[in-house]
Amino acid sequence: MLARNPNLYSHHRLVEAATSRGHVIQVINTPRCYMNITSHHPQVFYQGEPIENVDAVIPRIGASITFYGAAVVRQFEMMGVWCLNESVAIVRSRDKLRSLQILARHGIGLPVTAFAHETRRADELIDMAGGTPVVIKLLEGTQGVGVVLGETRDSAKSVIQAFRGVNVNILIQEYIKEAGGADIRCLVVGGKVVAAMRRQGPEGEFRSNLHRGGSATKIRITPEERSTAVRAARHLGLNICGVDMLRSNHGPVVMEVNSSPGLEGIETATGVNVAGKIIEFIETHAMPNKTRTRGRG
């Protein structure tokens, strides 16, 4: 498993699930890997030794090391090692704009979204997203960081124009008021939703992230929501992911697809052994040289 912190709940649970089923699993600190990039014998090294005789890789790549982490995964793919999520799919999901464009192309429900680097035309961007209130996001933000609600046109324009000085790309999305500060997290494994929870933001907070004080409860999702989550995972090429959706008046809309979803919240809320289902999927699908891209992405 490629993970920086083996003590995180998600990583501990995956190790526990793997060892309980008789597997040997090693946690590798991703940034400490280094690679011999050669056309004849690609290798990954860790602590002075080549990593060999690996049946499968579980990438748990943090957002802050996406570039290097994806390179390590890609190197394993070049070696013919099966990876739970492939490098191309990880990079695709981490690029918010690219992932939304892919989902839109395949007809997945999304909030009305505008994208810009030049922020002089703030009024046009706000109108494009359906008018205030609007949600303004930094393209690189995670866990609710870099997400601001512009409740009035003046406040939204101020936020958009403030980003101009820090040279960042931003998304402006319609605010789904009817969601009531709640979203749905579906955990997809191998093309099936294995668990789903409703996350509710604290009073006065429109973001429902558990890291920001939100609460989680088990939920029964609709067939349309299940289909949306499965199709989103498939079109981004992810074997495992968390699909975050809002319930809007015009059906489920996808906010984000997370290629390294946390397991604590959803296992606690639903009682589902998600880690065990992930290991079961690996057992039935991991095969040498089965990687679709073989590091070509």
Q: Give pLDDT tens digits for 52-106.
A: 999 999 999 998 999 999 999 999 999 999 999 999 999 999 988 899 999 999 9
What are the E-state strand segments in the chain? 34-36, 43-46, 49-50, 56-57, 82-83, 113-116, 134-138, 147-150, 170-174, 182-189, 192-200, 215-218, 240-248, 251-258
Q: Based on the number of CB atoms within 10 Å of its own CB, is 47 exposed (0-12), middle (13-18) or buried (19 or more)?
A: exposed
Lowest mean pLDDT, pick from 20-34, 125-139, 258-272: 125-139
Looking at the structure, give the CATH architecture of the domain made up of residues 1-109+178-297: 2-Layer Sandwich (3.30)
pLDDT at 213: 56
The mean pLDDT of the chain is 89
**pLDDT at position 295:** 46
pLDDT band with cut points at 50, 70 and 90 for residue 147: confident
Average pLDDT of span 22-49:
93
CATH of span 113-175: 3.30.1490.20
Q: What ranges do the domains of the chain cover? A: 1-109+178-297, 113-175
Is the pLDDT reported for residue 297 higher than 60?
no
Average pLDDT over residues 184-209: 84
Q: How confident is the model at residue 218 (pLDDT cuts 50, 70, 90)?
A: very high
**What pLDDT shows up at residue 227?**
98
Beta pairing partners, 8: none
Percent of the chain scored above 90 by pLDDT? 69
- pLDDT (0 to 100) of residue 180: 85
The domains spanning 1-109+178-297 and 113-175 adopt the same CATH topology: no
